[in-house]
Structures are given as structure tokens and as C-alpha cells.
Structure 1
Amino acid sequence: MKPRYYYPLTFSLLALVGGGCGNLNTDLAIPDLPMPASFRDHQDKPENAPVTQIDWREYFADPNLLALIDKAVANNHDLQIALQRIETSRASVKLANAAMLPKVNLNIGGGVQKFGLYTMDGAGNASTEITPGQIVPEHLTDMFVGLQSSWEIDVWGKLKSQRNSAAATYLSSIDAANLVISNLVADVAVYYSELLALDHELEIIRRTIAKEQEALDVIKLQKEAGRANELAVQQFQAELLNTQVSEKNTLQKIAETENQINYLLGRYPQPIERSTQIFFSEKSHELSAGVPSQLLENRPDVRAAELQIEASQFDLKAAKAAFYPNVNISATFGFQAFNPEFLFTTPASIAYSVFGQMIAPIINMKALEAQFNTAKANQLSAMYNYQKTILNAYVEVANQLSNIKNLRETSTLKKQQSDALKQSVDVSNELYKAARATYLEVLIAQQSALQSNRELIDVTKQQRIARISLYKALGGGWR
């Protein structure tokens, strides 16, 4: 009749636990942020290829750049770290799957025990035969060889939620690695473009130095002939020295940019192979920006953020399931005896047990509530991060579309300005030789031409970088 008293107690405990879970809401939501149907002030051309159809090996035409990107993808340390995170996530999925299966262990053990005579065990052993004609030894050995098993039955879906969370985290880690690849491809291409621009800038500076040296030699001769004074000589000399300083600064920038590329390639500093002629002549694909909703599929950071929401949802469900009782079954089967000669020789040494239990949390509810609230905050954070990632993706694409349009118009104007100032240098030199222009006008023409040429190179570099940035912003570079 005793068991009757346990049933009401058991149901009372379940009711108490269930009552404490009544306010555990897992259906969370945040204010929606609708995505625009198109990018502002942008119309795609039908003949432009969608970014998803262009591999980076096709998008970039420079073979030297392609070789650098290949080495970076193979050796970059950040990418290798990201790949190891994938392995860690894959192991977590296997661990979560294993938690849903019974655990079976081989147990081989033994020991010795002596009970006091004036105890229930000692008194019983002193008068009990363990084998016919032999009482239980005072020093009782105990040997066991067999299997032990335990299994937590996933009644409430906690283990399944943990497994699904691990799977979503694993997929998110893959997209995180794809994001590293996309950024790496873009970074190598950007630094390569900066290096080509510096090469052209160095070439312009050196040509300017040669012309300024010629002008200085002329002014010195004119001074000897009485047609110029020392002030003019000093002005030309100062301008030449200033340009030579610019040459040294540019050489330092070239060295630093080469080193940055080598760092991305995971190697120590060495010269970077490149062809400067392709800087102005390279033709790249015209990208189709498509519609903003395609960013959800193309950009690995958006995909990773979406998977993080999925993982956090399963974490929240697992945290809720922790409030309910755990149902565990344990069992053993093997051979047990006090003497090795009896361990396997008789069926009497066979030992087994089966035990089931249900463990319900009572005292530590506050700790479980804290875990649930943490999981809830993590899911809301993942939702806001997803919205933030989408917004950032849209803004990046919109910025680069606008940037490319304005840089195209700026480049046309800069080319016209550069051609005009180049002619002004030749004209000012001829006029100065004919005493129809002052040396200050010659200096101003040279300075303006140098500055204009450097600005033209910079605009061209920005155009290349803008196309690279748009390619990355649209989700290119990782496939």
C-alpha cells in the first residue's frame, strides 16, 4: 500500500514545475524593417551579368592579381582560423547527436571491503554461506566485468533543440568562413590597386623631377647670362627638393603596401609581381546590382546572421525544456564474484540492474530562469543583428553605386584638366625662354600639372576600388 503515497507527491511536483513554466514565452518578435524593392536612383542594364554568376577568377582580368589571390586563399592565417572554427562547430554537432543516444561503457573493476562485526552487514556475513560449506570472507573482495549504460530520454525536446542549435551554428560558421574569403579577395585586390596607383604616381614624380632639373639648369644658365637672379634659382631648387621628398614618401608607401599584401598572403615581405600598364586599361565586368532582396541569398554575412537567429531559437527552446523533469534510465549487465574462479564459470555470477528516475528542478528555479532570460536576450540580439546586417548590406551597395557614378564623371573632368595642365607646362617653358613669362608662372604650371596627374591617378584608383567594393557588397568573391 505504500506506493499510493508516492503518486500524489509525484503529480504535485510535476504541477509545481509546470506552473513555474507558464510564463516562458519562446515566440519572440521585434519591429519589422521592410527592405526597399530597389536601390535608390539605380537602374540595371539587362545585359549586365548578375554577381552570383561571376567567379572572382573571371571578374579580375590581371593574371598577377589572380595569382596573389590564389596564394592568399591558400595561406591566409585568418582564413585558416575560420576553417578551424568550422571543424569545431562540426565536432559540436557530433557531440550533440551523441547526447541523444544511450551511453554504453565497459566496466572492469574490483575492490575489497571489511564490514564491522557489530553491523547489519557484518553480522549477516558471519553466518551466511557464500558457497556450500564456506561463509562469507571477512575481507570480502568484489570483482565486476560487464557493461554499464545510461540514457536520458528526450521527452521535452531539449537534446533535439541543442542538436539543431549546434547544426545551425555549424552552417553559420561556414558562411563566416565564406565572409572571410570574400573580404580577403577584396582586400588583396584593393591593396593591389593601391600598389599600381603608387607605381604610376612614382613614375609621374620622377618625370616631374627630370623636368624640374632641366628647368633648374636653364635658370642657372640664365643667371650667369644676367637674365635671372639668385631668388629664381633658389625657388626652382626648393621645388625640386620638395618633389624629391615626395618621391621618397611614395617609395615608402610602395614598400608598406607590398608588405601588407604579403601579410594577407601569409608570407614574409618580398617583391610583388605586377604590371603597371593594366592600371588604366583593365576592363572589368559591369555588375548587375539586382534587387535588394537578393542580398539575403548572396551575402555570407547576412546568411550567417540568419542562421544565428535559428540557433538562438533552438537555444531558447532548450532553456525552456530545462524547467521540465529529466527522465533517465541506467542499466548494467555483467559478471560479478568475490573470487576470480567463479567470475565466468557459473550463471550464478551474472549480475544486472535496470533503474529509471525522473529528476525535477525545485530549488534552483532562479538559475534556470536566468539561463532562460539569457537565451531570450541572445535571440533578440540575433534578430537585431540580422536587421543591422541587412541594413548595412543595403547601404554598402547604395554607396558604391553612387560612388561609381560620381567617380565616372569626375574621371572625365580630371582627364581634361590633366591634358590642359600638361600643355600649360610646355607653353610656360617656351614663354619663359622667350622672356614672356616669369619663373613663378613656370613653377605654378609644374606644380599644378603634378598635382593634377596625381589626382587623376587617385580617381582611377578609387574607380577600381569602388568596383571591387561593389562586387564584395553584392556578395561576390567567396564562391
Structure 2
Amino acid sequence: MHIYKPFYKKLWPLLILLITLGCMQGCKPSGALRQLSLRALPDTSFTVRNNADTLTSIPVWRNYFRDALLIRLIDTALINNPDYQIALRQIDIARAQLQMRRAALLPTVNGIVSGGIDKYGDYTMNGVGNFDTNLSPNIKSDQRIPNPTPDLFVGFRSSWEIDVWGRLKAQRNAVASQLLATEQGVRFTKTQVVAMVAELYYTLQAIDDELQIVDKNLALQKQALDIVKVQKDAGRATELAVQQFAAQIHNTNAIKIQLQQELIAAENLLNQTLGRYPKRIDRTQSFINMPTPLLPVVASLKDMLLQRPDVQQASLQLAAANFDIKAAQAAFYPAISLTPYLAFNAFNLATWFRPGSLAYGGLAGLTAPIFQQRQLKTNLAIQDNVRQQQHWVYQQKLLHSFSEFATQWHNYNHQEQILQQKQQEVAALTAAVTTAKELYAAGFANYLEVITTQKGALEAELQLITAKKNWMLSSVHLYQSLGGGWQ
């Protein structure tokens, strides 16, 4: 077999030249990347009110909401809500992807069993070489090469890329950052589910109170209609007055029907959020007297907003993009790999598993990208644009988080002020209804004044419930804007 050595020796200079050119071209710097900077959040402090009930940190949702029925509904949603369960599966997928990237850093080992046969021609190098070998007095009979020649192989073959430039490690770190980002995304989905359940629960309670107010006013209006009918029979009122009071009752009935439809829609939507089919939902009575959740004093808004799940998710996605950049840069450098093997290899079945058939070897290879420069540079440009994109996504999240919190903070305080004004309005109009009835009975007021006063009182009571609902919802939105709900 010595006849091949001079031929291979002639290839070494060409091989070395190709590897050198590949290294020179493949390791060529790709140019500096654009530096990016973030606009930091302002370090601002806010205070809701100074009292003993105010908390100093974001509480877990079980402690934030103080209604046992609401807590039970949130527990149900976190078990059955499809959106949240879908998000949880994303974590499992991301963990599996991380395991794959970690495995890429380790050698691969494959078990191989193969068999083949070759018939060499009399005028081929292998045919002549095997014939010459069989004539040698130095080989035993079981070492003679048959023609056709079997090739039997059973053993292990391994491959290992040595991560000299950190490409595989950067890819692993990118996937690890994506896993952490996915976990933060699941937390953000959880905050949305918790907030949605609380909003719909408070909406149902508000509609319950509105229906009670409508029923109470219907009873008063029917009583007033009966009085007007009696006065008409006595000649003290006209048919027009009777018709006006009757029309007022029809209008109130229409309001009641509309509220009943809103109640059905809200209850069905809440059941959907809970991951179940429509059914009645138990809820606490007397919504108007329900206390709002305890709100925290924000000592450092910057620190709290940076812990929001969506902000954390964007930050980790930016970190993953930076690791992808490192992997794309490392791809310009030559890859070094080792491919060892250990096996029983023979051309005779009878000698296949003899100790003398044990063979082993290895090959070290250096693969340099020579003609893939356009592809590598394009990939680097793509990853750089992804990095810039994630940079602006993170900046967007910072701006949105601060803006959302500031809006909800002022909204909470303003809704509390609106509620106080509405309470005073209802008290004044309730007294006015009593006064109007007394004046009408004494003949000092006409029926239109009574109707107008009753209508105004009904609208004010309904608006009071709406104001209470808006205040409760603003407390939920404020809690969510601080990143609360996933704990």
C-alpha cells in the first residue's frame, strides 16, 4: 500500500494552503457594531395616602384582594384558563430547547453496525494492492483478502466540535435567556388573568347593585303612579300626569332589561376566563360598601417598574439577541472538530470479533468558511437588526410601563374624588325626592318636578355605582401597572 504515500504527500501543501487562506478570509473582522443606549427611567416616588393601612411593597394577589369568593375564582382561572395553560407549555418547550443547546457542547457518540462488499477490478489500485498483499509470506491464511471483499464494522464513532471561539456557548446562553424571558412572559400572562378575573367580578357586583337600585326605584315609581291615579280620580291630576308617570316606569324597565343583558354577558365572559361553560357565579353582596384593596406606597418607582414581568421579558430578550450576535461573529472563525472511533472491523465473519479485529482511530479537523462570507455577513446583519429591534422593544416597554403607571395612579385618585362627589349628589337628590313628594302632596309642586327629581335620583344612584366600580377597577389596574399579580 506504500504506492499511495507519494500521492498523499503531494496533497499536503495544497491542503495547508487552503486552510491558511480559509483562516485569513474566515477570521476577517466584520466591522464594529452600532452602540445602543437606553433612556433610563426617572427615579420618582409616589404616595397614595398616609395611613396605617397602606403597604410598603407589592403584595401577592392573595393578600391584595380581600374577597374570599374572588380569591377562589382566581385560583380556578389559574388552573383552567386556556391562555395561561398555553403559556405554561411554552416554558416546557423553552427548557427542552435549552437542553438541546447544552448537549451541543458535548461530544456525540453513535453506535454503528454496518456491512458491505466490494468487488475490485484486476486493474484497480485496490485490486492490484490486495493481490500483491495476498502473495506476501508475512500474512496468515485468515488474513488473506478475499475478492469480493466484505467490510464488517461494529463499534462507536464520536464527533466533538471544540468550542474554541465560544459560538456554541453563546447559542446556549441565548436560549437560556429566551427561557428566562418565556418565564417572565408567563408571569405577565398571569397578571393579565388575575386582573381580568377581578375586573369582571367587580363588574358583576356593580351590576347587581344597579339592578337593586332599579328595582327600588321601580317600586317607588309604581307607588307614585298609583297616587297620581287616585288624584286623577279625585280631580286633582290629569291624564297627562298619569301618562308621564307610566312612561317613566317603562323607561326604568328598559334600563333593567339592559342591565340584565350586561349581567349575562359579564358572567359568561368571566366563566370563559375561568375555563368553564356558563353558570351562575357566586359573589359578595353590597358592592357599594366593599373596601378597596390596600395600595402600596411606591418608595422607588424605578425599582418596581424594572421588576414588571413584561419589562423583564424585554430585557432578557435583548440579552438573548446580544448572545446571538456573539454566535454570529464566532461563525467567521474556523471550527475545530475531533472524530474518534472504536470498533471491531474485519473482512471475514469468522475473525470479526477477535481481539485482533479491534480498531480505533481519530481525526482532527479544522473547517474554515471560505466561500460563505456573504452568508455569514448577511446572518450577522440580520442578528444585529434583531438586536436593535429588541433594544427598541425594551425601550418601548420602559416608556409604556412608566406612562401606564402614571396614568393609573392619577386615575385612582381622581376616581376616588369622583366617588365622593357622587355620594354627595345622591344624598342631595334622595332628600330632594322626599321634598318633591311632600310638596306635590301639599300642592306646591307639579308632577313634572316629581318625575324630574326621581329620574335625576335614579341616574345619580346608577352613576354612584359606576363611580365605585371605576374606583375598584382603577385599583386593579394600578396594582397591575406595578407588576402585581404574578407573585
Correspondence for 1:33: 39
Task: Summarize deviations over 1:401-457 as a string: whole Å, max 9, x none.
Answer: 211221222111111100111122222222223332222112111110111001111
Q: Which runs of 5+ in 1 are unaligned?
A: none
Contact map agreement 1:280 1:460 (CA 8 A) in 2: no
CA distance, structure 2, for counterparts of residue 186 and residue 366 of structure 1: 49
User: Offset of 1:292 from its aligned partner?
Assistant: 2.1
Count residues in correspondence: 473
Q: Are 2:86 and 1:81 equivalent residues in the alignment?
A: yes
Contact map agreement 1:65 1:192 (CA 8 A) in 2: yes
CA distance, structure 1, for counterparts of residue 49 and residue 310 of structure 2: 24
SS of the residue 2:278 aligns to: coil
Within 5 A, what are the aligned runs for 1:417-456? 417-456=425-464
Read off the aligned partner of 1:159 and give its amino acid letter. L
User: Offset of 1:112 from its aligned partner?
Assistant: 2.9
CA distance, structure 1, for counterparts of residue 142 and residue 270 of structure 2: 88
Contact map agreement 1:62 1:278 (CA 8 A) in 2: no
Q: Which runs of 5+ in 2 are unaligned?
A: 1-8
User: Offset of 1:124 from its aligned partner?
Assistant: 4.2
User: Offset of 1:297 from its aligned partner?
Assistant: 4.3
Read off the aligned partner of 1:310 and give its amino acid letter. A
SS of the residue 2:27 aligns to: helix
CA distance, structure 1, for counterparts of residue 286 and residue 88 of structure 2: 37
CA distance, structure 2, for counterparts of residue 429 and residue 133 of structure 1: 124
Note closer, same or farther for the CA distance 1:303–1:45 as it changes in structure 2 (3 Å cut).
farther
Contact map agreement 1:215 1:236 (CA 8 A) in 2: yes
Correspondence for 1:393: 401
Correspondence for 2:55: 49
User: Offset of 1:211 from its aligned partner?
Assistant: 1.4
Q: Are 2:257 and 1:248 equivalent residues in the alignment?
A: yes
Question: Which residue, out of 392, 398, 409, partners 2:417?
Answer: 409
Question: Which residue, out of 348, 351, 368, partners 1:360?
Answer: 368
Q: Are 2:213 and 1:214 equivalent residues in the alignment?
A: no
Question: Which residue, out of 191, 203, 208, partners 2:212?
Answer: 203
Correspondence for 1:223: 232
CA distance, structure 2, for counterparts of residue 8 and residue 119 of structure 1: 30
User: Offset of 1:476 from its aligned partner?
Assistant: 1.4
Read off the aligned partner of 1:72 and give its amino acid letter. A
Contact map agreement 2:188 2:310 (CA 8 A) in 1: yes
Read off the aligned partner of 1:204 and give its amino acid letter. I
Correspondence for 2:5: none
Correspondence for 1:137: 146
Within 5 A, what are the aligned runs for 1:265-414? 265-347=274-356, 349-414=357-422
User: Offset of 1:224 from its aligned partner?
Assistant: 2.8
SS of the residue 2:118 aligns to: strand
CA distance, structure 1, for counterparts of residue 48 and residue 480 of structure 2: 19
Q: Are 2:107 and 1:102 equivalent residues in the alignment?
A: yes
Q: Could you say what the CA RMSD is over the residues aligned between the two structures, in angstroms?
A: 2.2
CA distance, structure 2, for counterparts of residue 274 and residue 402 of structure 1: 29
SS of the residue 1:288 aligns to: coil
Task: Summarize deviations over 1:182-214 as a string: whole Å, max 9, x none.
Answer: 121111111111111010011111111111222
SS of the residue 1:49 aligns to: coil
Note closer, same or farther for the CA distance 1:7–1:111 as it changes in structure 2 (3 Å cut).
closer
Task: Summarize deviations over 1:446-474 as a string: whole Å, max 9, x none.
Answer: 11011100111111111111111111111
User: Offset of 1:135 from its aligned partner?
Assistant: 5.3
User: Offset of 1:14 from its aligned partner?
Assistant: 1.4
User: Offset of 1:9 from its aligned partner?
Assistant: 4.1
User: Offset of 1:217 from its aligned partner?
Assistant: 2.1
CA distance, structure 2, for counterparts of residue 188 and residue 162 of structure 1: 39
Task: Summarize deviations over 1:66-123 as a string: whole Å, max 9, x none.
Answer: 1111111122111111111111111111111100111011111223333344433344
Note closer, same or farther for the CA distance 1:133–1:72 as it changes in structure 2 (3 Å cut).
closer
Contact map agreement 1:127 1:135 (CA 8 A) in 2: no
Correspondence for 1:63: 68
Note closer, same or farther for the CA distance 1:9–1:216 as it changes in structure 2 (3 Å cut).
same
- The percent identity for this pair of structures is 36
Which shifted more, 214-223 or 277-286? 277-286
Note closer, same or farther for the CA distance 1:249–1:44 as it changes in structure 2 (3 Å cut).
closer
Read off the aligned partner of 1:29 and give its amino acid letter. L
Contact map agreement 1:141 1:338 (CA 8 A) in 2: yes
Which shifted more, 288-297 or 458-467? 288-297
